[in-house]
C-alpha cells in the first residue's frame, strides 16, 4: 500500500503549528497547516532525548532547535490543557460543575456523559464564554480564565447550536469569519478560506447559500470556521448528533485528522464516537468526573467483569434488585441485560467482551449507587 504523509507537530501555545512529514499508514487525505506561513521545523538534535521529534517552532519563518533538557511537547501524552478543581453553580442553584480536574494532552479527547452532566458548561468555560466560580485552567503557558484574549487567538469552537444560517454563500460567510479572526490581508484570507473549503469538502458547494446545506455540510462548515487561524485548541460540542451514518463517518474522519495536530475536545453522548476516535477520555455525570483514561485501558480493566443474559421484561426488576444491571436493550423481542460482577455468574449468564458502552454504563451505575 502506498503510504501518504502524516503531519506531525511540535506544539507551543501561541507559537503556531509546525508540520513535518511521516508515513501515514491509512488512506485519509492530509490536512495541511492552514497557516500560509507556518514556522519551519527541523529534527531535534541527538542528546535532546526527543527521539528525532521536531524542534520547537519559533514563530513565522524562524527555527529553533530543541536544547538538551528542553521540554519538547511533541510527546503525545504530555498534558497541554490542565483543568483543576473547576466548580460552577448557576444562579438558579444548579451545581453544574463540582471540582472538575482533567489533564488533556494533544490528540482527541472524548468527554462523555448524559444530558445535564455539565459537558457544555465545561466546554463554554474553556472557550472563555462563561465564568467559573472556582478553579483554574491553563493551556500551556496561558491562564485560560484570566487571559481570555490569548485563548481566543488559539481557540476553535464549534458550539452545539451554531445559530442561524443566513442567505449568504458558504465562501462569503467563511471569509467574513476570517475577517473576524483578524486574518487581515485579502490574499492571505482567500488562500486560507479556499484551503479550508477543500479540507472540509465544501468546495463544490462554496457558492451555495448556507441555509440550503444539509446537516452534515452545516457541521463541516462549523468545523471550517472553527479551524480558521490555525487553532491549537479545538472544542466541538455534540458534533455528530443528527448526522446520517455517511456524514457522521466523513465528519469523524475529518476530526481525527485534525486531532493529530492539536488538542481536540469532543463532547458527546455517543460512546461510539469516543471509542472510534479518542486517545483519551473522561466520563462526567452530575458535574463530577467519574473516570478518565485511555479508552482501550479502561475497557481492558473491565475484562471478565461483564455478563449478559436474555430475560423476559417482567423479570427485570428482580435482576435489578439482586445484581448490578448496567444496561438493557431489546434483542429479538426479549431483553438483553448486561451485569457487572467481579464473581462469575451462572444461571444462564455468559461472559461478554466488554466495550466502552459497558465502561460508560457501569461507571454511571456505580456513581449513582454511591
Ligand atoms: P450537558 O452539556 O452535559 O447536557 P449542561 O452543562 O448543559 O450539561 O448543563 C448542566 C446543568 O446545568 C443542567 O442541569 C442544566 O440544566 C444546567 N444549566 C445549564 N446552563 C444553565 C443556565 N444558563 N442557567 C441555569 N442552569 C443551567
**C-alpha closest to that of 232 among 210, 257, 209, 263:** 263
- Is residue 364 in a domain? no
**C-alpha closest to that of 159 among 252, 91, 229, 225:** 225
Q: How far is the CA of 87 from the centre of ligand 1 (A)?
A: 13
- Is residue 146 in a domain? yes
- Ligand 1 within 6 A of CB of 166: no
Name the pTM for this structure.
Answer: 0.77
- Is residue 367 in a domain? no
- Is residue 360 in a domain? no
What's the confidence (pLDDT) of residue 267?
A: 92
- Ligand 1 within 6 A of CB of 283: no
Task: Kindly indicate the confidence band of residue 254, based on its pLDDT and cuts at 50, 70 and 90.
Answer: confident
More confident site: 359 or 245: 359
> Of the candidates 50, 75, 100, which is a domain's last residue?
75
Tell me if 4 sits within 8 A of 12, measured CB to CB: no
Q: How far is the CA of 365 from the centre of ligand 1 (A)?
A: 21
Q: How far is the CA of 116 from the centre of ligand 1 (A)?
A: 5
Ligand 1 atom 24: residue of nearest CA: 90
Same domain, 193 and 283: yes
Same domain, 244 and 274: yes
Same domain, 92 and 215: yes
65-74, 86-95, 288-297, 345-354: the lowest-pLDDT one: 65-74
More confident site: 12 or 195: 195
All residues at 6 or more sequence positions from 220 whose CB lies less than 8 Å from its CB, including other chains: 200, 201, 202, 250, 251, 254
- Ligand 1 atom with the smallest distance to the CA of 115 is 4
> Of the candidates 75, 92, 126, which is a domain's last residue?
75
CA-based R_g, the chain, Å: 23
Same domain, 110 and 131: yes
More confident site: 353 or 57: 353
Tell me if 252 sits within 8 A of 273, measured CB to CB: yes
- Ligand 1 within 6 A of CB of 113: yes
Backbone φ, ψ for residue 325 (5° rounding): -75, 115
Q: How far is the CA of 153 from the centre of ligand 1 (A)?
A: 26
Same domain, 109 and 36: no
**C-alpha closest to that of 87 among 72, 98, 73:** 98
- Is residue 369 in a domain? no
Q: 292: how many CB neighbours lie within 10 A of its CB?
A: 17
The CATH code of the domain that includes 219 is 3.40.50.300
- Ligand 1 within 6 A of CB of 114: no
Same domain, 242 and 127: yes
Same domain, 150 and 10: no
- Is residue 248 in a domain? yes
Structure-block grid coordinates of residue 197: 473549503
Give 282's strand partners: 111, 292
Highest mean pLDDT among 63-67, 154-158, 257-261: 154-158
> Of the candidates 263, 298, 333, which is a domain's last residue?
298
The CATH code of the domain that includes 333 is 3.30.70
Q: What is the dihedral of CA 279, 282, 283, 288, to 10 degrees?
A: 180
How many domains in the chain?
3
Same domain, 214 and 266: yes
More confident site: 206 or 13: 206
Question: 13: domain range?
Answer: 1-75
Task: Kindly indicate the confidence band of residue 223, based on its pLDDT and cuts at 50, 70 and 90.
Answer: confident
Same domain, 93 and 220: yes
Highest mean pLDDT among 14-23, 48-57, 274-283: 274-283
Same domain, 180 and 154: yes
Provide the b/e sequence for 17-36 (b: ≥16 CB within 10 Å).
bbbbeeebeeeeeebebbbe
Same domain, 67 and 108: no
Same domain, 250 and 222: yes
Name the one residue in this structure whose C-alpha cell is 442561524.
164
**C-alpha closest to that of 349 among 309, 311, 296:** 309
- Is residue 357 in a domain? no
- Is residue 102 in a domain? yes
Amino acid at each position: 500500500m502506498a503510504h501518504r504523509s502524516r503531519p506531525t507537530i511540535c506544539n507551543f501555545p501561541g507559537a503556531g503549528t509546525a508540520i513535518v512529514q511521516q508515513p501515514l499508514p491509512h488512506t485519509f487525505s492530509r490536512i495541511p497547516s492552514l497557516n500560509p506561513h507556518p514556522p519551519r521545523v527541523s529534527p531535534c538534535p541527538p542528546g535532546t532525548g526527543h527521539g528525532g521529534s521536531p524542534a520547537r517552532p519559533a514563530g513565522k519563518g524562524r527555527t529553533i532547535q530543541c536544547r538538551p533538557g528542553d521540554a519538547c511537547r511533541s510527546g503525545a501524552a504530555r498534558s497541554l490543557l490542565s483543568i483543576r478543581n473547576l466548580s460552577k453553580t448557576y444562579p438558579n442553584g444548579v451545581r453544574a460543575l463540582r471540582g472538575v480536574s482533567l489533564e488533556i494532552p494533544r490528540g482527541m479527547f472524548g468527554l462523555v456523559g448524559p444530558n445535564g452532566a455539565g459537558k457544555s458548561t465545561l466546554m463554554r468555560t474553556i472557550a472563555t464564554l462563561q465564568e467559573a466560580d472556582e478553579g483554574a485552567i491553563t493551556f500551556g503557558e496561558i491562564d485560560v480564565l484570566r487571559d481570555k484574549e490569548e485563548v481566543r487567538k488559539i481557540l476553535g469552537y464549534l458550539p452545539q447550536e451554531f445559530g442561524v444560517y443566513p442567505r449568504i454563500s458558504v465562501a462569503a460567510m467563511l471569509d467574513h469569519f476570517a475577517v473576524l479572526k483578524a486574518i487581515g490581508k485579502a490574499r492571505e484570507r482567500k488562500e486560507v478560506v479556499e484551503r479550508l473549503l477543500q479540507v472540509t469538502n465544501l468546495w463544490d458547494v462554496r457558492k451555495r447559500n448556507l441555509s440550503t446545506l444539509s446537516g452534515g455540510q452545516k457541521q463541516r462548515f462549523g468545523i471550517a470556521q472553527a479551524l480558521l487561524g490555525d487553532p491549537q485548541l479545538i472544542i466541538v460540542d455534540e458534533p455528530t448528533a443528527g448526522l446520517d451514518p455517511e456524514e457522521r463517518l466523513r465528519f469523524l474522519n475529518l476530526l481525527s485528522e485534525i486531532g493529530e495536530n492539536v488538542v481536540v475536545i469532543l463532547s458527546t453522548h455517543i460512546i461510539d464516537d469516543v471509542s472510534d476516535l479518542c486517545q483519551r477520555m473522561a466520563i462526567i455525570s452530575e458535574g463530577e468526573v467519574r473516570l478518565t483514561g485511555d479508552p482501550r485501558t479502561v475497557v481492558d480493566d473491565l475484562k471478565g467483569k461483564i455478563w449478559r443474559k436474555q430475560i423476559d421484561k417482567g423479570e427485570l426488576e428482580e435482576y435489578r434488585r439482586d445484581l448490578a444491571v448496567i444496561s438493557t436493550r431489546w434483542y429479538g423481542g426479549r431483553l438483553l441485560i448486561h451485569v457487572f460482577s467481579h464473581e462469575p455468574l451462572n444461571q444462564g449468564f455468559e461472559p461478554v467482551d466488554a466495550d466502552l458502552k459497558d465502561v460508560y454504563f457501569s461507571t454511571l451505575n456505580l456513581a449513582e449507587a454511591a
